[in-house]
Structure 1
Amino acid sequence: LNHNASTIVTIFTITGFDTTKNPMLVGVVILIFYIVAVVANVVNILIILYNKKLHKPMYLLICNLAIVDLLYTTSASPTMIGVLVAGVKTISYVPCLIQMFTFHLAGVMEMFALSVMAFDRLIAISCPFQYHSYLTNAHTVVLTYVLWIVACAFVAVLPATVIPLPHCYTVLKYTVCNYSAIIRTTCVDPEYYFNLAAIITFFLSFFTFGFICLSYVGIIYFAKLSSNNDKKKIASTCLSHLIVVICYYFPVFVIAILTRFGVVLTLEERNGLNIGTILGPCLVNPFVYCLRTREIKNEIIKMFSICQKS
């Protein structure tokens, strides 16, 4: 297309995987990971919803994280699987914008969900006797709703800045419809928009990560004052959360820090890290909480034993 002539875009072509060796193999691997992530998260949600004993703030937050993970992986994985396995490389304009919004919304909510879970652990450890009066189920649900609304407000900036822009290209150089990919198809200098996205990402990442770190400083301080038996319990509940936090933030910071320091990532490296950020937490989270949370583990064992008897 002519560089200067803006065009009305109805369809984008996704070319992020064009240089991938063995696209079918990569696609099948992503498909398997996606199915496992969806099943594991849905099982977690159903166990928590149907078991009245698990209607407690901590489990409601685990349930919320599972919903976020489902949104996160479903916003991107089917498109990637379609490109790699079925060779469907096009996506219409409106679905592309919807994908961009849900993809970034889930990314922001993942940070918020992990922050609230750190806060939940801090309250549980620092004021165990007041915990149930501070964090009731109603408070937890209201807090979660507020966070979803705040996340939507942050992410609404992206479509608001993209939609008015004229488009000169129809090729997306990335693997999904994210903000950067769509901005690159417009006729404007992308620098301002990339900086805007970078500022929002930087603010949210460092604010939430800083909040989680401060919560852990508090947790470590109160853990020192606890008995040895309590210390083991504290370590056990916090380890699940720490694994999940590292799994999410590590690739985010690698991409942010390397690109800010001028390290140019190849398309394959960037794609690999992006797929890691999308699929990693969604796969790890349900298993970490299934295997490390006694109540959820017991429910799963009970379900399996009932299935075998029948």
Structure 2
Amino acid sequence: MDFRNFTILVTPDFTVPSFEYVENPKALGVGILIVYFLILFGSGVNIFTIVSDKSLYTPMYFFICNLSAIDILHTTSIALTIFSVFLVEIKTISYRACLVQMFFYHSGDLMEAVAIGIMAYDRLVAICNPLRYCAIITKNQIIMLIVFSWLFSLSLTCYLAFTAEGLPVCNPVLNLPFCDYQTFIRASCVNADLYLGKSGIIGFTVVFSSFAFILLSYAIIIVVVIKLSSESRKQMFNTCTSQVIVIFCYFMPKIIVNFASKFGVVLTMSERSSVHIASTFGPSLVNPLVYCLKRENIRKKVVSFFKIYKTSP
């Protein structure tokens, strides 16, 4: 048998730069590690509290539980690589591991955008059509919305991973302390603009379509709430405060970076890394804190749990 016509694709490990611009990488790594544990704790508390209390089996709490699971997935997808770079000083990642990390990182990002949009839809129905809320937001619809958001996001990321799979690598050096689609493509021997154009269309369509829907939803909510009495108006605005904070923390970094690039603002490697890390860990840290502190049911459940734990022998 003639093996001369067969070629073997050698996929080198990717190298993560030493990030000389970071004065104390270990201190930065410890800081990110603390934030990561807070995210795991806060999101875990939300999930445990909601799952263990049947009185919280309502649509909004199911959506909060879904968002907490996404936060854990999104941050965990890049946490181990960041810790290995800054704490253990392991500055390589294999080709396959890079692809897997890229897949889960972008899946979590798209899932979060869709999940926040679904929560805005829930508030829209609850405030604008309260009498038919239970008839519209049924248990089956909740499951369908959550399953759709996951499958939709995973399918889009599968497409991106499929386009990146098997690409030859010319410059196996990452510009970030973890793998994302942009850095992977720029390290490959291909026309980067062609591939990045596809990913840009997907990201823009999902993220900014969700943001546009959220803006429209809250515009309608504001019009409806203004017509209510002052007491009802205050109550309605309080129910939306938590989600407004979540929306701001997730979408604002993306909008700022997008407009900055449109106006020709070029970010340094340090600034790009900081924006990516902050936009990943920041919203995931804020989400459980906001919902634990703002939602009285969850807050009381958490306090009672720690009281029981403290008084137990």
TM-score bin, normalised by smaller chain: over 0.9
* Aligned residue number for residue 101 of structure 1: 103
Deviations 1:4-39 (A, max 9, x none): xx9621421112734322101110100000011111
* Aligned residue number for residue 164 of structure 2: 162
In 2, distance between residues paired with 1:115 and 1:131? 17
Moved more, 171-180 or 119-128: 171-180
One-letter identity of the residue aligned with 1:12: F
1:266 Cα offset (Å) = 0.7
* Aligned residue number for residue 13 of structure 2: 11
In 1, distance between residues paired with 2:158 and 2:167? 15
Correspondences of 1:202-281 after superposition (within 5 Å): 202-281=204-283
* Aligned residue number for residue 86 of structure 1: 88
1:59 Cα offset (Å) = 0.2
Structure 2 alignment gaps of length 5 or more: 1-7
* Aligned residue number for residue 39 of structure 1: 41
Question: Structure 1 residues 98, 18: CA separation in 2 closer, same or farther (over 3 Å shift)?
Answer: farther
One-letter identity of the residue aligned with 1:249: F
TM-score (ref. length: structure 2) = 0.94
Correspondences of 1:294-309 after superposition (within 5 Å): 294-309=296-311
Specify the SS of the correspondent of 2:195. Answer: helix
> Is 1:198–2:200 an aligned residue pair?
yes
In 2, distance between residues paired with 1:16 and 1:159? 26
In 2, distance between residues paired with 1:262 and 1:10? 33
* Aligned residue number for residue 20 of structure 1: 22
1:96 Cα offset (Å) = 1.1
Report how many aligned residue pairs link the two structures. Answer: 305
* Aligned residue number for residue 3 of structure 1: none
* Aligned residue number for residue 186 of structure 1: 188
Moved more, 152-161 or 65-74: 152-161
Deviations 1:47-83 (A, max 9, x none): 0011000111000000000001001110112211110
In 2, distance between residues paired with 1:123 and 1:27? 43
In 1, distance between residues paired with 2:147 and 2:263? 37
In 1, distance between residues paired with 2:72 and 2:291? 15
In 2, distance between residues paired with 1:236 and 1:296? 16
Specify the SS of the correspondent of 2:131. Answer: coil
Deviations 1:77-111 (A, max 9, x none): 22111100110111111111111000000000110
Specify the SS of the correspondent of 2:130. Answer: coil
CA contact (8 A) 2:78 2:105 kept: yes
CA contact (8 A) 2:18 2:91 kept: no
* Aligned residue number for residue 66 of structure 2: 64
Question: Structure 1 residues 117, 217: CA separation in 2 closer, same or farther (over 3 Å shift)?
Answer: same
CA contact (8 A) 1:16 1:271 kept: no
Deviations 1:134-192 (A, max 9, x none): 10222101111011111112112211111132211221121211001110111112111
Moved more, 233-242 or 199-208: 199-208
CA contact (8 A) 1:115 1:211 kept: yes
CA contact (8 A) 1:16 1:267 kept: no
Identity of aligned residues (%): 38
Structure 1 alignment gaps of length 5 or more: 1-5
In 1, distance between residues paired with 2:203 and 2:263? 16
CA contact (8 A) 1:12 1:92 kept: yes
CA contact (8 A) 1:55 1:137 kept: no
